[in-house]
């Protein structure tokens, strides 16, 4: 409730162009639902109650939507009307499943916080100045490069095609990493639009839920398994006709997955060593740190090749535009 009045004020700019509003309340007891019923001011708004659970509630709310696109207006975060329109323009121009953009990340005092999310790395690596699209293989490489982070960034900066999220809902078995898992599971079949301009704000603030309620055992291993399953399904082959070199792509993606697996194994050995009081004293300890550094170098080299592949793929096809809303 503390963030809701300001959040609702930020929504007023773009609410007039919204086809419908779906409000999902998860047993709140601080007056949020009553406040929204009174002040939302959207004739098409429908209100639902769903048990607590972040991605479970998102999936439930999305299932109620009937419009072509869905925007998740998470409390505390904001987007401009121009920004929302540019996401729609990009989705329409490229027939995208998802369109993502970089937010400005701030703390509760409004001070900008520097965070390196995959969307920022992508824009920098590809030197993007206008919207582009990644086909399934490119999106898969993007997810591989960023394996343990969410390629979606903040959903408050994104637009989703409704039928895409109904077909591929957010995974609920990865704790707070449902958006990370979404990218791993569905990257190979996702046409991803990228708008490099900032027109949204993501607020870092304390969570009211208990972190232990979203804890997941062996999260890193689960992410590796999810990516192995995705690559094994080979959904990216539906794009084989537009891949520069199918065999080279398969080799690169497998190389990157192996690099991640070996780096993660070296990390687990270090963490196990760190629990020991003799962690820095034995020659074997220094050997494991040296191995970790070597595996990191191999992984970084594979990631660099992944960025180069995506760059060549985009620039070798007509997948770049400047929507009217950004001109």
The per-residue pLDDT for 41 is: 85
254 domain-assigned: yes
30 domain-assigned: no
* Other beta carbons within 10 Å of 230: 23
The per-residue pLDDT for 277 is: 56
The per-residue pLDDT for 215 is: 56
SS3 helix, strand, coil % of the chain, rounded to 5? 55, 10, 35
Please give the tally of structural domains in the chain.
1
86 domain-assigned: yes
22 domain-assigned: no
Q: Which two tokens stand for residue 273?
A: 């060593």
The per-residue pLDDT for 66 is: 94
The alpha helices in 101-215, defined as continuous H runs, are 118-126, 136-145, 162-167, 178-186
The per-residue pLDDT for 327 is: 55
Q: Give the pLDDT of the chain (327 residues) as one tens digit per residue.
A: 888 999 999 999 999 999 999 999 998 889 999 999 999 988 889 999 999 889 999 999 999 999 999 999 988 899 999 999 999 999 999 999 999 999 999 988 889 988 889 999 999 999 999 999 999 999 999 999 999 999 999 999 999 999 999 999 999 999 889 999 999 999 999 999 999 999 999 998 776 655 555 556 677 889 999 999 999 999 998 887 778 788 999 999 999 999 999 999 998 888 777 666 555 556 667 788 889 999 999 999 999 999 999 999 988 776 666 656 555
Q: Contact 90/83 with Cβ under 8 angstroms?
A: no
278 domain-assigned: yes
44 domain-assigned: no
Q: Which two tokens stand for residue 274?
A: 């760190």
The per-residue pLDDT for 216 is: 61
105 domain-assigned: yes
Q: Contact 282/317 with Cβ under 8 angstroms?
A: no
Which residues, in sequence order, are CB contacts of 190 under 8 Å at separation 6+? 97, 98, 136, 139, 164, 168
Domain region containing 271: 68-327
Query: Nearest to residue 220, comparing CAs of 169, 177, 187, 159?
Result: 177
Strands (DSSP E) contained in 184-275 are: 192-194, 200-203
73 domain-assigned: yes
């Amino acid at each position: 409730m503390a963030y809701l009045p300001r959040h609702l004020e930020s929504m007023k700019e773009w609410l007039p162009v919204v086809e419908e509003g779906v409000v999902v309340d998860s047993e709140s007891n601080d007056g949020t639902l009553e406040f929204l019923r009174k002040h939302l001011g959207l004739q098409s708004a429908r209100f639902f109650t769903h048990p607590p659970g972040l991605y479970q509630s998102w999936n439930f709310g999305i299932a109620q939507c009937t419009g072509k696109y869905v925007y998740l207006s998470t409390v505390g975060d904001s987007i401009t009307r121009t920004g929302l329109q540019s996401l729609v323009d990009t989705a329409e121009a490229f027939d995208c499943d998802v369109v993502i953009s970089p937010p400005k990340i701030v703390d509760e005092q409004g001070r900008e916080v520097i965070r390196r999310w995959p969307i920022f790395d992508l824009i920098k690596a590809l030197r993007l100045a206008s919207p582009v699209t990644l086909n399934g293989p490119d999106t898969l490489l993007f997810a591989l490069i960023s394996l343990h982070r969410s390629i979606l960034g903040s959903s408050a900066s994104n637009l989703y095609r409704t039928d895409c999220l109904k077909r591929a809902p957010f995974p609920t078995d990865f704790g707070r990493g449902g958006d990370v898992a979404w990218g791993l599971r569905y990257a190979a079949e996702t046409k991803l639009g990228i708008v490099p301009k900032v027109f949204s704000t993501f607020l870092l603030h304390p969570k009211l839920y208990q972190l232990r309620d979203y804890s997941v055992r062996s999260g890193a291993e689960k992410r590796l398994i999810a990516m192995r399953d995705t690559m094994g399904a080979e959904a990216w082959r539906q794009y084989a006709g537009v891949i520069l070199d199918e065999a080279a792509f398969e080799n690169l993606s497998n190389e990157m997955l192996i690099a991640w697996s070996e780096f993660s194994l070296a990390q687990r050995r270090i963490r196990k060593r760190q629990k020991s009081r003799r962690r820095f004293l034995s020659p074997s300890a220094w050997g494991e740190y040296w191995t970790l550094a070597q595996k990191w170098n191999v992984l970084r080299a594979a990631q660099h090749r992944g960025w180069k592949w995506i760059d060549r793929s985009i620039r070798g096809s007509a997948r770049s535009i400047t929507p009217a809303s950004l001109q």
